[in-house]
A and B are shown apart, each in its own frame.
Chain A
Amino acid sequence: MIMDINPILLASAIMVASTPILLAAIGELVVERAGVLNLGVEGMMITGAVVGFIAAHETESTTLGFFGAAVGGAVVSMIFGLLTQYLLTNQVATGLALTLFGVGLSALVGQGYQATNQVPVTKMPIPLLSDIPVVGPILFRHDGVVYLSLVIVAAVFVFLSRSRAGMILRAVGENHDAAHALGYNVRRVRLMAIAFGGACAGLGGAYISLARVPQWVDNITAGTGWIALAIVVFASWKPWRLLIGAYLFGGVTALQINIQAMGLDIPVEYLSMSPYIATILVLVFLSGGRAPGSLGRIFHASS
């Protein structure tokens, strides 16, 4: 019966299902490479999801929706940034608070928008490339955000490994005291990284509420932010491995939905836990990288 699934449609669906995870994870990867552990990804994603939905609905433009989502994500991430960088709070607890706050805030703000219809996200097939058999429908007939997520991953790769600013960011993450001694502004680098992470998480959240579902329901992100955090660990903090991780999870999600739709004899509930169980298995068996040296530690320049 598995044969009933059209492999090309499935592969294309995997791209769509992976995009929110990929976006949130690439943002968090940059944040963690700067030495900050922001557990508030889920909170920033859901804020992005609701802000994006409302912005798109009010302006009738999904582009503005995604833009608003990125801004919204970045703004709430700054609560985390100010607390951890200036008031030197515990990053684990602050991240959790951000998630609780974001989930509550989105439920409150999104109240009036639950039944409203959504402006569709337009597909942007790439001319010529989208006509290639098999590869075309899988890779080149998506909306702009799918392409954007891949561009961001590539850009982060280049930024971290080839640019001077990326080197400074990694130095800050590996050893903040040494970076401080060399005259780099640890706080500013980290705040910028946190804002970038927030914007990416916001985009990822909006992709769920605008493109994947597309609707506003409470708690719409349903743990995607936490899966994104797990993917960063799986990827050993390397952008290209992140891509593999995100598509693997998108694969589990898309396949699970396909099997549900086929009406196999497996109860729906047990299928819908598969992404979470897959996350645990991957964390156990496939992650062996080393975390950035200063990850999660509080920086206080006691000169």
Chain B
Amino acid sequence: MIQLEKRKEPSTFWIYATPLLAVLLTMVLGGLLFATLGKDPLMAIKTIFWDPILGEFAFYYRPEVFKKAAPLILIAIGLSYGFKAGIWNIGAEGQYIIGAICGASVALAFYPLEARWMIFPLMILAGVAGGVIWAMIPALLRVYFKTNEILVSLMLVYVAEVLIKAFSIGLLRNPDGHGFPGSRNLNQYSSSANLELFAGTGVHWGVVTALFAVVATYVILAKHQFGFFVRLTGESSRAAGFAGVNANRLIITCFVISGGLAGVAGLFEVAGPAGQILGSFPAYYGFTAIIVAFLGRLHPVGILFAGLLMALTYVGGNAAEAAMNIPSATIQIFQGMLLFSLLSVDVLTNYRVRFVAARGA
């Protein structure tokens, strides 16, 4: 019989080992999945995880990994504050979409004026503001009406998806687009384009901002009082109350951070890789970022690596789709399995496994 014995302190070894174990476990499970689909599992794993970084066409895939990782890391970093404190913003996807809409609206309002020094910063501000406003709805409702923030933030994702569809064929539609849905292409408007800062690397402003967010969060969590409050609330909200933490202010701050980062991620995406407001703009980064946050153990450096890994599954997934005819939905299953594995092996961090002889019958 197997028994679990609670550890007094989480095991330091397993804190670092479990994410790796989870990735390995997912590869095994994923391999089984590919095998049942009739695809060569080893080949599939190699196409997804190896080829984009070190394969023959890596020069094409590597920049893609950075572009995909930037929004994931930005959003996950924002979410990590709330998740640490037990505040669940599940609707980052909605904040990401609204940030993109607001930022793009600013650019389109100024079109065709050429003044990048003013327009691009204003877009960034608008992106942040859009995300924050969208995040404030669940936050304020939670604070003033005790409404469940998980459900409200989620419902707003569906509302945001409808809004971006409506805007892409209505308010923000490209007047020169011959009636096709979608806004003007922000990439082709030099005042708004979020282009690569170094050609061929994939590093755009979003990537830089993501790195900055990682460093800033590391400092805030380690050194700043706010980081201490967040950690304290997560461990015991009662103790945090005694220590003078204002729970409501903490909820709002966590939502401001996660909403703002999700919003700016949306702006960088719409002005860069995506290019335009379109019904197909939402790419579930807001949901995948939840996995990234957990896989990175809610630690900024962990999230950095987790975001890169998850971006790799996207890029590798596309490669596998093209090369091996593996359906794109498989990657979503893969990501779900990754989160399952991670949560499962985490039992080793907090509990000691004991094999006990079944008591005599």
Residue ranges of A at the interface with B (Cβ–Cβ < 8 Å): 39, 79, 83, 87-90, 92-94, 96-98, 100-105, 107-108, 111, 218, 222-223, 226-227, 229-230, 233, 267, 269-270, 272-273, 276-277, 279-280, 283-285, 287, 300, 302
- Known contacts A104-B332, A108-B327, A302-B6, A87 near B344 by CB under 8 Å: yes
**Interface contact B170-A111, CB-CB below 8 Å:** no
- 3 smallest CB-CB distances across A and B, nearest first, come from A104-B332, A101-B336, A107-B329
B165 close to A (CB within 8 Å) = yes
Query: Which residues from chain B contact A89 at a C-beta distance below 8 Å?
Result: 343-344, 346-347
Bound Cα distance from A16 to B21, whole angstroms: 46
Query: A273 to B287, alpha carbons, bound, how many Å?
Result: 20
Question: Is the CB–CB distance between B340 and A108 below 8 Å?
Answer: no
Say yes or no: B162 contacts A283, CB within 8 Å.
Answer: no
A90: which of B141, B147, B327, B343 is its contact (CB, 8 Å)? Answer: B343
Residue of A nearest to B344 (CB): A87
**Majority SS of interface residues in chain A?**
helix
Q: Is B250 part of the contact surface with A, judged by Cβ < 8 Å?
A: no
Given A104-B335, A267-B166, A283 contacting B148 (CB threshold 8 A):
yes
Q: How far is the CA of A300 from the CA of B6 in the complex (A)?
A: 9
Q: A285–B339 Cα gap in the complex (Å)?
A: 34
The verdict on B180 contacting chain A, using a C-beta distance below 8 Å, is no
Measured CA separation A92–B339 after assembly (Å): 12
**Closest CB of chain B to A286's CB: distance in Å?**
11
Question: With A233-B151, A267-B170 in contact, do A108 and B163 touch (Cβ < 8 Å)?
Answer: no
Name the CB-closest residue of B to A105.
B333
Interfacial chain B residues near A103, Cβ < 8 Å: 332
Shortest CB–CB separation between residue B205 and chain A, in angstroms?
A: 29
- Check B150 against A94 for contact (C-beta < 8 Å): no
Q: Which of B148, B158, B165, B351 sits near A222, CB closer than 8 Å?
A: B158
CB–CB B147/A100 < 8 A: no
Pair A277/B155 contact, Cβ less than 8 Å:
yes
A300, B336: Cβ atoms closer than 8 Å? no
| B333:A104 contact, CB within 8 angstroms | yes
Q: Knowing that A273-B158, A300-B351 are A-B contacts, what are 7 other residue pairs whose CB atoms are under 8 Å apart, sorted by A's residue number? A: A87-B344, A89-B346, A97-B343, A104-B329, A104-B330, A280-B156, A283-B148
Please give, as numbers and ranges, the residues of chain B lying within 8 Å of A300 by CB-CB distance. Answer: 4, 6, 351
- The answer on a CB contact under 8 Å between A101 and B337 is yes
Closest to B154 in A: A226
Q: How far is the CB of B229 from chain A (nearest CB, A)?
A: 21
Max count, chain A CB within 10 A of own CB: residue among B158, B291, B294: B158
What is the minimal beta-carbon distance from B7 to any residue of chain A, in angstroms?
Answer: 11
A107 touches B156 (CB 8 A): no
Contact string against A for B residues 79-90, beta-carbon threshold 8 Å, 1 for contact and 0 otherwise:
000000000101
Q: Contacts A101-B333, A269-B162; is A92 near B343 (CB within 8 Å)?
A: no
| Residues 322-353 of chain B, each 1 if its beta carbon lies under 8 Å from chain A, else 0 | 00000101111111110110011011001100
- Which B residues between 146 and 186 are near A, CB-CB below 8 angstroms? 147-148, 150-152, 154-156, 158-159, 162-163, 165-166, 170
Minimum C-beta distance from A272 to chain B (A): 6
The answer to whether B150 and A39 have CB atoms under 8 Å apart is yes
Which residues of chain B have C-beta atoms less than 8 A from A270's C-beta?
Answer: 162, 166
- A sample of 12 cross-chain residue pairs with beta-carbon separation below 8 angstroms, ordered by A number, consists of A93-B294, A94-B343, A100-B336, A101-B340, A103-B332, A104-B329, A267-B166, A267-B170, A269-B165, A273-B163, A280-B152, A284-B147
In whole Å, how far is A301's beta carbon from the nearest beta carbon of chain B? 9
- Chain B contacts for A108, CB-based, 8 A: 327, 329-330, 333
Q: Do the beta carbons of B158 and A276 come within 8 Å of each other? A: yes
In the assembled complex, B214 has its CB within 8 A of some CB on chain A: no
Please give the distance in Å from A271's CB to the nearest CB on chain B.
Answer: 9
CB distance from A237 to the nearest CB of B (A): 13
Contacts of B339 in A (CB 8 A): 93, 96-97, 100
B290 contacts partner chain A, Cβ-Cβ < 8 Å: yes
Q: How far is the CA of A279 from the CA of B347 in the complex (A)?
A: 35
Q: A104 near B336 (CB under 8 angstroms)?
A: yes
